[in-house]
Each structure stands twice: as structure tokens, then as C-alpha cells.
Amino acid sequence: MPITIQQIEKLLLGKHAFSHLNFSMLLMRQKMSYVNDPSPTMLQNCANEICSFLDKFKTAMGADYALIEKL
């Protein structure tokens, strides 16, 4: 199941905790970028990077990925 742009926005605006350190660091960097520039273009850029990461590491993330799908 692909992650939607609405789920990405919830990730960027929410306070979710993830056990995968690399994903947490990526998300923190993306949150700072999105807070500084909440434009649709920036949201799409964040979504592209987050989705690329999730595509590569979905199996390693396990429970974290299941949490993201429920957003």
C-alpha cells in the first residue's frame, strides 16, 4: 500500500515516535523543511524523499511502517 500525501502531511505535522533511527532522523529533517516552507511544492518534495526511503527500508521498519499505514 503506497503512502498518501495526506499521511505524509500527518507525519510532518505530528509527534510520532519511530524505532528506526534513520527514519526518525529523515523525518526530523523533513519536518524542519516543511515548517519553514509549508508550500505544496515542499510537501511534494518531502513526500518524494520519505516515500523513497520507505520503499527501500519497508521490510526493515516492520511495526513503524504499520503505524504509518494507519495514519
Per-residue pLDDT of 24-47, as tens digits, reads: 999 999 999 999 999 999 999 999
Q: Which residues of 34-71 are buried (b: 16+ CB within 10 A; e: fewer)?
A: beeeeeeebbeebbebbbebbeebeeebeebbeebeee
Looking at residue 7, its pLDDT comes to 93
The pLDDT mean for the chain works out to: 91
Q: Give residue 20's domain range.
A: 5-69
Looking at residue 27, its pLDDT comes to 95
Looking at residue 62, its pLDDT comes to 83
Number of domains in the chain: 1
